[in-house]
Amino acid sequence: MACEMPQELYQEFEKLNLGFVSHTEGIIIEVEPTLEQEIRKGQLEDVKIKEIKESIEAAPPKQPSSPSRPSRAGRDHSADEYLAKGLFFHEDLVQVGKTLTLYFPVAASAPLGLLPRRVADAIPFSASSLPATLARLGIASDSAQAAAMEETLYMCELPQKAGEAAKFCATSLEALVEGSMAALGTRRIRPVTSGLPRSGAPKQPYTVRAVHPVDGASFVSCHDHDYPYTVYMCHNTPSTRAYMVELEGARSGLAVTVAAICHADTSSWNAEHVSFRILGTKPGGAPVCHYLPYGHNLWVNMEANRSSS
């Protein structure tokens, strides 16, 4: 079946001129060895990007004091909990006629959107350089935005978890594509995303109308994190199954298609992971499934189909 990515993400891919081939099962990207030249030729040249670039180049060498590190333990996790209760589900519910209770949050896009590589790479991206980055972007060191940026950098700099075959953070579309190709070991990849409304939808039961296994040799899933411009944290985990699931809301009649990922091997996961509490399971137990929120993406290795069990 055809799967639809958020329009603005698709437009960004088009601007890079990476050579899409439309397929009945989605979009296949085959990137030639001249990737770097093609990317540079197709990069954006709008006014906003020019202003950012000029601001970066003209920024005086300020040395602001390092902001105090906010305590993650003191964060209010009530919103996270509410999202989790409408995010995770058991794999045995991914069947026609079954019911999933899901919540789709309002899409929260980064103010500056996806930056071209030449702009993103000119902005330091590390916890140690955060004070300089805040100064360049004009963000107060004691602001909520600064705390969110610090949290994102912390997550990006954490070492690869047990059970992860690869992990990386991408600060540009080029880095997202190239990182996914490196993690999957091939240039022949395609992106898969959920078809969800930007405005979100309240928590409600959804009836499963159709299930389409996503064929592929392996997957890389990428999730956006809070930052002034779009940053994706991506990881490649083995023993994963993916599906495109067509749903219909029991109360509103809203029809959506979600990309669902099921992790079959959770033996290396932290026992405190919120999914275990929500689903009543434990590390090494039943598969843990979740859908991809708006704008998140799954990259599929198209080198060889695998059987969907």
User: 169-218: per-residue pLDDT in tens?
Assistant: 999 999 999 999 999 999 989 999 999 999 999 999 999 999 999 987 68
CA distance 103 to 309: 27
How many whole angstroms separate alpha carbon 142 and alpha carbon 31? 42
Q: What is the mean pLDDT of residues 205-233?
A: 92
pLDDT at 8 exceeding the cut of 60: no
- Asked if 301 contacts 186 with a C-beta cutoff of 8 angstroms, the reply is yes
Taking only the tens place, the pLDDT of each residue in 182-191 is 999 999 899 9
DSSP 19-81: -EEEETTEEEEE--TTHHHHHHHH----HHHHHHHHHHHH-----PPPPPPPPGGGS--HHHH
pLDDT of residue 297: 93
> How confident is the model over 285-304, as a mean pLDDT?
90
Confidence (pTM): 0.75
